[in-house]
Amino acid sequence: MAEIQFSRGIPEETVPDVRITRAKDGSNGKAVFYFQNPKALANDTTDDITGMYLVDEEGEITTREVNAKFVNGKPEALEAVHIMRNPAEWDRFIRFMERYAAENGMENQSAS
């Protein structure tokens, strides 16, 4: 089980576009998640977005850097940024992403 939540306990159904970068020396990294029309922004949702929670059998990874994108005054997308400050955080994040990708049919596309 690997899922992304914006409100604790409520899984997000929209699969994001994820861009991951890492320093050449492996000391840190950054992941940017982009959710187009996520369930968390649906009109019938009353739950507050309190962060982005990456939840799996190892536990939870949390980021508070979540921003909504609006078009004509209506929420259309969410963008979340997760910063990995050391190799251990990077390894933990990659383990989560491997599980999440396998469960959601995501494929890895390396930059050329």
pLDDT in tens, 28-73: 999 999 999 999 998 777 678 999 999 999 999 999 999 999 999 8
Look at residue 92 and give its three-state secondary structure. Answer: helix
Q: Cα–Cα distance between 62 and 5 in angstroms, integer?
A: 10
**pLDDT over 90 percentage in the chain:** 80
**62-111 pLDDT tens trace:** 999 999 999 998 889 999 999 999 999 999 999 999 999 999 988 766 65
Whole-angstrom Cα distance, residue 48 to residue 73? Answer: 18
- Give the residue among 62, 60, 101, 102 at the shortest CA–CA distance from 80: 62
Model pLDDT, residue 26: 87
Specify whether domain 3-102 bears CATH 1.10.150.120: no
- Helix (H), strand (E) at residue 47: none
Residue pair 79/38 in contact (Cβ under 8 Å)? The answer is: no
Q: What does the pLDDT read at residue 112? A: 46
